[in-house]
A and B are shown apart, each in its own frame.
Chain A
Amino acid sequence: MISEKINEILVDEFEVDVDVIQPNLNLKDTLNLDSLDYVDLVVIIESNFGVKLVEADFANIQTFQDFYDLLKHKTGQN
């Protein structure tokens, strides 16, 4: 499932415990993302899934589930 792969990538990149990642939790707050981190997030998503995220993609992203749904939509994966 794409959500599992996303979690693996996030754990590795942002050095968090996999248990802190829950679909209903806030992505930015949970990973403690600042503006400098988002460029890393965009890079790792592009390198792992081949899709390019733009600023507008994040406009409606609050939770991890939102992020999974965005990438499911962009990649066509489940």
Chain B
Amino acid sequence: MTASPFPITDSILLQELLPHRAPIIMIDTLYDFTDTTVQAGLTIQEDNIFVEDGIFLEAGILEHMAQSIALHTGYSFYIQQKAAPIGYLGTIKSIAIDYFPMIGEDISTSATILQEFMGVTLVSVETFIGDKRIAYAEIKSVIAS
């Protein structure tokens, strides 16, 4: 029986899985991955560029959500021993943010692929602090060909 590789917290490996670079990397943990889902996390640090007055801003939450989707793509390519491709956020179909995390809080995001068609992926994304959902979005992403 093979041991689970999760959670992955190695920042160097995570950087390999994402096309983003510091200080824009908004994921510090890969908790889980399946063909259609991914769960990623971030602890909000004081020096995070999206923190203002101790609060993790909307742009940071969105970036964390988008990177969770990118992480799914990156990890799926990684296990096939291929380099992570560049992807683009196509549209945000719907979004609701009920709470803005504060410094020191841990957020986790679950992304589920709802549909893939003609190179466009529709993903449902939920962000939590503990068991409390703080944000939800449906995002379309496109992988650069």
A74: min CB distance to chain B, Å = 15
| Closest partner residue, chain B, to A52 (CB atom) | B115
Give the chain B neighbours of A46 by CB distance below 8 A: 115
Q: Mark A10-53, 1 if CB is under 8 A from B, else 0.
A: 00000000000000000000000001101110110010000001
Asked if B114 is an interface residue, CB under 8 A from chain A, the answer is yes
Cβ of A4 within 8 Å of any chain B Cβ, yes or no, is no
Report Cα–Cα, A38/B90, bound state, in Å: 12
Which bucket holds chain A's interface residue count?
A: 10 to 19
Neighbouring A residues of B114 by C-beta, 8 Å: 43
Shortest Cβ distance from residue B119 to the other chain A in the assembled complex, whole angstroms: 7
Alpha-carbon distance between A39 and B140 when the two chains are bound, in angstroms: 9
Q: Which secondary structure characterizes the binding site on chain B?
A: strand
B36-85 at interface with A (beta carbon < 8 Å): none
Number of interface residues of B (CB under 8 A): 14
Alpha-carbon distance A16/B56, docked complex (angstroms): 38
Q: Is B11 an interface residue (CB 8 A)?
A: no
Cα separation A42 to B121 with both chains bound (whole Å): 11
- Measured CB to CB, the closest approach of chain B to A16, in angstroms, equals 18
Given contacts A36-B140, A43-B122, 20 further A-B contacts (CB under 8 A): A35-B118, A35-B120, A36-B91, A36-B120, A36-B142, A38-B117, A38-B118, A38-B120, A39-B115, A39-B116, A39-B117, A39-B121, A39-B122, A39-B140, A40-B93, A42-B115, A42-B117, A43-B114, A53-B117, A55-B118
B-binding residues in A (CB < 8 A):
35-36, 38-40, 42-43, 46, 53, 55
